[in-house]
Chains A and B, each alone.
Chain A
Amino acid sequence: MRAPPMTTTTAHRLSELNVLESEAIHIIREVVAEFERPVLLFSGGKDSVVVLHLAAKAFWPGKIPIDLLHVDTGHNFPEVLEFRDKTVAAHGVRLTVAKVEDYISDGRLAERADGTRNPLQTLPLLDAIAAGRHDAVFGGARRDEDKARAKERILSLRDEFGQWDPRNQRPELWNLYNGRHTVGQHVRAFPISNWTELNVWRYIEREQIELPPLYYAHEREVYRRDNMWRAVSPVSPPRADETVETRTVRYRTVGDMSCTGAVDSLAASVTDVVREVGVSTITERGATRADDRISEAAMEDRKKEGYF
């Protein structure tokens, strides 16, 4: 277990990945120390898996003192849900699942015309935060994902409606995070704000972190829509004019099956993926998310309403 001793001539400077890792662990520990009931949003997607891994490191050798929450759209990839439950069991943490399906069946939410359920996650999320009396919510959002996210603080204050007010964010000075809030408000905490997609993959490679298999190249029945490969599934069937074919693909993000697209890829191992992401000419969301194509400010609008 003992690392080789560092010689005194070594420069005392951390590599990029280690700076980001220590920054994230610092944020996670601050939030756990200052808040009563933090919760971590865990979908089984790569970013939330990385945040969970960092939380495990932050509290080693103790268990992660944070509960997990997943907002299940009902359109998730089954292999991701299986991975989610396996990972939760391995860490010995408690997971609450809030289901969009329940809201649709009793009429609190209506299915959208385009069939996309991503924007429907906000209400169950806010209800779950209120029901769990959570005063801090960890998310795996990164600033490099989207231009609205690029504006978000690491600790981001939300009012009782979960709203984000981008015109009036609290200043965030040095690494002194101010988590003070009033009753009804809560804070969203983003420990990997400063990580890029490539940082995340390099970290997954270095730490040998397990991910759902669909992040790696595999064969799948797909059809072309909106310039993306969509999986054939009961919730995302092809239309009559769309041809189904079997292709070797992988997913760069894992969300709702109804709006997440796959990309052509032969990257079957984490090393292949690191290489692929390093030379990619399209952003992660641009390549894979239909919901962000609705309008130029789709993410900003969802965030203002309380989305993560």
Chain B
Amino acid sequence: MTLTIDTQANTADDIVATGEGTLFRFATAGSVDDGKSTLVGRLLHDSKAILADQLEAVTRTSNERGFGGDSGGIDFALLTDGLRAEREQGITIDVAYRYFATPARSFILADCPGHVQYTRNMVTGATTADAVIMLIDARKGVLEQTRRHLSVVALLRVPHVIVAVNKIDLLDYDEAAYREVEASVRLVTAELGVGSLGFGDVHVIPVSALVGDNVVDRSERTPWYDGPSLLELLETLTVIDDRDASGRATEAFRLPVQLVLRPQGAVSVAPELADSYRDYRAYAGQVASGSIKVGDTVSVEPGGGTSTVTGIDFAGVDLDEAFAPQSIALRLADDLDIARGAVIAAVDTLPPVTRTLEADLFWLDPRPLAPGARVLVKFGTTLMQALISDVTGRLDLTTLGVEPATTLAVNDIGQASIRLSRDLPVERYAQNRRSGAFLVIHPQDGATLAAGIVTAPGEPTRAGDGSGAGSEVSP
């Protein structure tokens, strides 16, 4: 028996979402105890996303723990704080992913921890988010950890920021108190450039996660607030900001090659078709940005060769066009030397290759960074050796200015110069969110040391110097 993969699935209708009926990813952020998990639980509960057995389990646990004193009630944080240690300590330790849908769209939500010790987990949740809900305890206002998280959000250029000024019930729904917090938030976001540098927008909402004000429904207790509820906002924010009004991708086409598909006879297609796939060769990867059509000219790095796209395959379906984030296999007219780590791009859109770059680093490891450190870096599907030649500054979370620094410690956001062991077409994160992001990895134990964001590629490597021989790292 031979496997046949159904090919009716990927018709145009199927591939393209109608309207906004697609996935929207958001994450929570903010200082410890500001109410992130409670808000998320409330959102899930009030949008009817909690099934009976889950609600029963958290109600039981809430009662056992005496939540809410004599009046009782449900500790909604238990819906995401699922680990034993989290329940014992009453804090979130690692990101919990939850899924829910409303008639408008489907959501993947990442409930992140606020505790400084687990900032790396908040960064994890925020890197894939279309929006971040930044919680602030209305009584405490903007704290250092709020500024740290907002800096991460700014660094990552998360498209939308929703600041939820929480626990407004404890301030008797006082407008003046809310306006004060709102004003200080606006100051900080302006300082960080959130919502002003052509990316991101900032929405501020007064909420009570505990009581449910302005979470799903607009609250009568905040008549002075005339904006949308949190859920209304989540349902209407645009999905990604790198598309124009007609929904076309505005970033240039990039396909980081994951592997080369060359079955050489070991095929899964019907025996009578096997012969026609004997010489099949295609470059498999997930489109990182932009779109590509059959007949388009592409260029390839490393090597700088160009060719024409002769076919786009999606598991047996022949596509005319593909776009991010589709996982495809690309066939080219010419036999170029392309392996894992190569980038196939729309012709003449790749920046010149370089061996140096400037980056912002979010340092995630307890071991501090010393200049001169030898590390591995992972850009797309490229893994190579690199050297952090210099630390040039660090973000001061009090002033939000850059102060001089020579090392980076855990949770620091710093600036560094990096030398690569091989030529790479380096792109600024501000230009391309997928290509401009990278990991810094410990060369021995494999730990992820930092999240990296390219701020400036270095001098182009002179063309034709023939020194492509860097040290490639086998996985």
Residue numbers of A with Cβ under 8 A of B are 1-6, 9-23, 25-26, 29-30, 32-35, 53, 56-64, 86, 89-92, 143-144, 146-148, 150-151, 153, 166-167, 169-176, 178-182, 193-194, 196, 206-208, 280-283, 286-287, 296-297, 300
Interface string of B1-14 (1 = CB under 8 A from A): 11101110111101
Q: How near does chain A come to B212, taking the closest CB pair, in angstroms?
A: 21
Find out whether the CB atom of B5 lies under 8 angstroms from the CB atom of A283. no
Write the chain B residue with the least CB distance to A170.
B448
Contact of A173 among B106, B315, B329, B448 (CB under 8 A): B448
Report A-chain residues with C-beta under 8 Å of the C-beta of B261.
Answer: 59-62
Which residue among B18, B121, B268 has the maximum number of chain A CB atoms within 10 Å of its CB?
A: B268
Contact of B378 among A17, A58, A151, A176 (CB under 8 A): A176
Q: Can you report 19 residue pairs joining A to B where beta carbons are below 8 Å apart? A: A1-B317, A11-B16, A18-B14, A26-B325, A57-B314, A60-B313, A60-B316, A61-B277, A63-B267, A92-B268, A147-B96, A150-B80, A151-B96, A173-B123, A173-B124, A173-B437, A180-B446, A206-B9, A297-B83
Find out whether the CB atom of B326 lies under 8 angstroms from the CB atom of A18. yes
Find out whether the CB atom of B277 lies under 8 angstroms from the CB atom of A151. no
Report B-chain residues with C-beta under 8 Å of the C-beta of A146.
Answer: 82
Find out whether the CB atom of B267 lies under 8 angstroms from the CB atom of A14. no
Give Cα A179 to B446, complex, Å: 8
Find out whether the CB atom of A176 lies under 8 angstroms from the CB atom of B96. no
Interface string of B243-264 (1 = CB under 8 A from A): 1001111000000001101110
Given the known inter-chain contacts A171-B364, A287-B53, A296-B57, please indicate yes or no for A13 contacting B247, CB distance below 8 A. Answer: yes
Given the known inter-chain contacts A60-B268, A196-B99, A283-B53, please indicate yes or no for A182 contacting B445, CB distance below 8 A. Answer: yes
Give Cα A13 to B248, complex, Å: 8
Give Cα A173 to B440, complex, Å: 11
Q: How many residues of B contact A (CB 8 A)?
A: 99
B95 at the interface (CB under 8 A from A): yes
Per CB-CB distance, the 8 closest pairs between chain A and chain B, nearest first, are A147-B82, A180-B446, A11-B247, A62-B263, A286-B53, A57-B315, A25-B327, A34-B475
Find out whether the CB atom of B7 lies under 8 angstroms from the CB atom of A171. no
Give Cα A207 to B16, complex, Å: 16
Give Cα A63 to B5, complex, Å: 12
Report A-chain residues with C-beta under 8 Å of the C-beta of B162.
Answer: none
B413 at the interface (CB under 8 A from A): no
Find out whether the CB atom of B318 lies under 8 angstroms from the CB atom of A3. yes
Contact of B280 among A22, A23, A61, A144 (CB under 8 A): A61
Find out whether the CB atom of B54 lies under 8 angstroms from the CB atom of A286. yes
Give Cα A10 to B437, complex, Å: 29
B143 at the interface (CB under 8 A from A): no
- State the majority secondary structure of interface residues on A: loop
Write the chain A residue with the least CB distance to B78.
A147
Find out whether the CB atom of A16 lies under 8 angstroms from the CB atom of B17. yes
Report A-chain residues with C-beta under 8 Å of the C-beta of B9.
Answer: 206-207
Contact of B258 among A5, A30, A143, A282 (CB under 8 A): A30
Given the known inter-chain contacts A11-B16, A147-B82, please indicate yes or no for A280 contacting B263, CB distance below 8 A. Answer: no
Q: How near does chain B come to A65, taking the closest CB pair, in angstroms?
A: 8
Give Cα A17 to B14, complex, Å: 9
Report A-chain residues with C-beta under 8 Å of the C-beta of B266.
Answer: 62-63
Find out whether the CB atom of A89 lies under 8 angstroms from the CB atom of B445. no
Find out whether the CB atom of B246 lies under 8 angstroms from the CB atom of A9. yes
Find out whether the CB atom of A14 lies under 8 angstroms from the CB atom of B121. no
Given the known inter-chain contacts A3-B319, A12-B249, A173-B439, please indicate yes or no for A179 contacting B243, CB distance below 8 A. Answer: no
Find out whether the CB atom of B17 lies under 8 angstroms from the CB atom of A14. yes
Given the known inter-chain contacts A19-B22, A33-B259, please indicate yes or no for A286 contacting B11, CB distance below 8 A. Answer: no
Write the chain B residue with the least CB distance to A21.
B327
B15 at the interface (CB under 8 A from A): yes
Q: How near does chain B come to A240, taking the closest CB pair, in angstroms?
A: 29
Report B-chain residues with C-beta under 8 Å of the C-beta of A60.
Answer: 5, 261, 268-269, 313, 315-316, 329
Report A-chain residues with C-beta under 8 Å of the C-beta of B318.
Answer: 1-3
Contact of A10 among B12, B262, B286, B326 (CB under 8 A): B12
Chain B, range 418-453, C-beta contacts under 8 Å to A: 434, 437-439, 441-442, 444-448, 451
Find out whether the CB atom of A3 lies under 8 angstroms from the CB atom of B10. yes
Find out whether the CB atom of A90 lies under 8 angstroms from the CB atom of B2. yes
Give Cα A86 to B3, complex, Å: 11
Give Cα A170 to B9, complex, Å: 36
B51 at the interface (CB under 8 A from A): yes
Contact of B247 among A12, A23, A89, A153 (CB under 8 A): A12
Report B-chain residues with C-beta under 8 Å of the C-beta of A20.
Answer: 23
Give Cα A297 to B86, complex, Å: 11
Contact of A6 among B321, B327, B446, B447 (CB under 8 A): B321
Report A-chain residues with C-beta under 8 Å of the C-beta of B85.
Answer: 166-167
Q: How near does chain A come to B48, taking the closest CB pair, in angstroms?
A: 10
B52 at the interface (CB under 8 A from A): yes
Q: How near does chain B come to A17, taking the closest CB pair, in angstroms?
A: 8
Report B-chain residues with C-beta under 8 Å of the C-beta of A148.
Answer: 82-83
Extra contacts besides A2-B320, A6-B321, A150-B96 (14): CB < 8 Å: A1-B7, A12-B323, A16-B23, A18-B10, A30-B258, A56-B3, A56-B315, A57-B314, A166-B93, A176-B439, A178-B446, A180-B441, A182-B445, A286-B51
Give Cα A181 to B438, complex, Å: 18
Find out whether the CB atom of B277 lies under 8 angstroms from the CB atom of A13. no
Find out whether the CB atom of A29 lies under 8 angstroms from the CB atom of B17. no
Report A-chain residues with C-beta under 8 Å of the C-beta of B1.
Answer: 86, 89-90
Give Cα A75 to B305, complex, Å: 57
Contact of B326 among A22, A63, A151, A282 (CB under 8 A): A22
Give Cα A19 to B128, complex, Å: 13
Contact of B325 among A14, A53, A300 (CB under 8 A): A14
Which residue among B3, B12, B121, B323 has the maximum number of chain A CB atoms within 10 Å of its CB?
A: B3
Find out whether the CB atom of B268 lies under 8 angstroms from the CB atom of A61. yes
Write the chain B residue with the least CB distance to A198.
B101
Contact of A29 among B12, B258, B280 (CB under 8 A): B258
Contact of B83 among A17, A33, A151 (CB under 8 A): A151
Chain B, range 114-139, C-beta contacts under 8 Å to A: 120-121, 123-124, 127-128
Give Cα A92 to B270, complex, Å: 12
Give Cα A148 to B93, complex, Å: 12
Give Cα A22 to B17, complex, Å: 14
Give Cα A148 to B96, complex, Å: 8
B231 at the interface (CB under 8 A from A): no
Which residue among B15, B52, B323, B439 has the maximum number of chain A CB atoms within 10 Å of its CB?
A: B15
Give Cα A9 to B321, complex, Å: 13
Q: How near does chain A come to B363, taking the closest CB pair, in angstroms?
A: 11
Write the chain A residue with the least CB distance to B452.
A173
Interface string of B262-286 (1 = CB under 8 A from A): 1100111100000001001000111
Which residue among B14, B249, B327 has the maximum number of chain A CB atoms within 10 Å of its CB?
A: B327
Give Cα A206 to B262, complex, Å: 28
Find out whether the CB atom of A22 lies under 8 angstroms from the CB atom of B327. yes
Give Cα A280 to B242, complex, Å: 37
B61 at the interface (CB under 8 A from A): yes
Report B-chain residues with C-beta under 8 Å of the C-beta of A15.
Answer: 14-18, 21-22
Give Cα A60 to B268, complex, Å: 7
